[in-house]
Amino acid sequence: MHQHFNGVKTAALFGAIFALLLGIGSFVGGGRFIWLFALIGVATTFYGYWNSDKLAIKAMRAYPVTEDQAPVMYRIVRELSSRAGKRMPRLYISPTDAPNAFATGRNPDHAAVCCTEGILRLLDERELRGVLGHELMHVYNRDILTSSVAGALAGIVTSVAQMAIFFGGGGDEDRPNPVAMFAMALLAPLAATLIQFSISRTREFDADEDGAKLTGDPLALASALSKLERGTAAAPLPPAPQLQNAAHMMIANPFRAADVGRMFSTHPPMAARIDRLQGLARGMHSHY
């Protein structure tokens, strides 16, 4: 598969989050608690990574399915996993009309792929194959590690920044300016969130490209994304907190545009993704 330098991107983005975390921690209690917050961040990151599959599956009320219950999903995933030379993940279905799919799990050996009932009704088999190829590449590119850790760290940064409103610096001589403290408490969560979203957006483009190469059919995924854009608009998920925490894993933004602004969307614009896939298809066709 084409290399996207995911390790370098991940290290740079995680470094930015940790720097932001430590910068905020230096304001809280004059910096006396900075390592406490760092340890809490590490613990939360580990918990989110280790339990990412359980948390996302539970949020979507998904249930495991057998090959008899979902023969088309099994046939497609078995074929693509074999083509990639990787282990086949567990398969789940979420009982919701909102059309979507996601992959979760701490590594390729402990992964799950989930489709909603809505997406299984909306897409034909070719389009579903394109979607499942995308989700499998999230698993094989180890994107779940990145998104789980980024989400946990962004949450910690937000919590620490909010605490900065209530705790000043050390003594009166070294106490930060209250206006600066308030600005830090407001801007730090925004910065952490944007860092997390930039990871999600990058991974969506990468999974689109690698998934299309795995299936050998970029236009199938492009067609699926076009249907999903309309389908999620017609049947969005409610913006509940537990669903918001799982939204960045899904192939399409599951919420109404009014609920999540474009600037804060975890997903790139569908038009940009479709254009890239169509360009990839033209490139593949020119080689034949």
Residue pLDDT, tens place only, 154-184 = 666 666 666 655 555 444 555 555 655 566 6
Contact, 122 vs 99, CB < 8 A?
yes
**What pLDDT, on a 0 to 100 scale, did the predictor assign at position 114?**
97
Residue 278 contacts residue 219 (beta carbons within 8 Å): yes
Most confident of 67-76, 238-247, 277-286: 67-76
State the pLDDT at residue 243: 78
Q: How confident is the model at residue 69 (pLDDT cuts 50, 70, 90)?
A: very high
Q: How high is the pLDDT of residue 64?
A: 97
The pLDDT of residue 93 is 98
Q: Are 134 and 118 in contact (CB under 8 A)?
A: no
Q: Could you give the residue ranges of the DSSP H alpha helices within 164-266?
A: 178-215, 218-234, 241-247
pLDDT tens-digit readout, 190-212: 666 666 666 667 788 999 999 99
The overall average pLDDT reported for the chain is: 79
Let me know: does 146 contact 199? Beta carbons within 8 Å. Answer: yes
Tell me, what's the pLDDT at 50? Answer: 74
Q: Quickly state the pLDDT bin for 17 (edges 50, 70, 90).
A: low
Identify the CA nearest to 276 among candidates 238, 225, 227: 225
How much is the average pLDDT of 218-227? Answer: 98
pLDDT band with cut points at 50, 70 and 90 for residue 40: low
Active site residues: 135
Q: Which residue has the higher pLDDT, 102 or 265?
A: 102
Per-domain residue ranges of the chain? 16-286
Task: Give the confidence band of 51 by pLDDT, cuts at 50, 70, 90.
Answer: confident
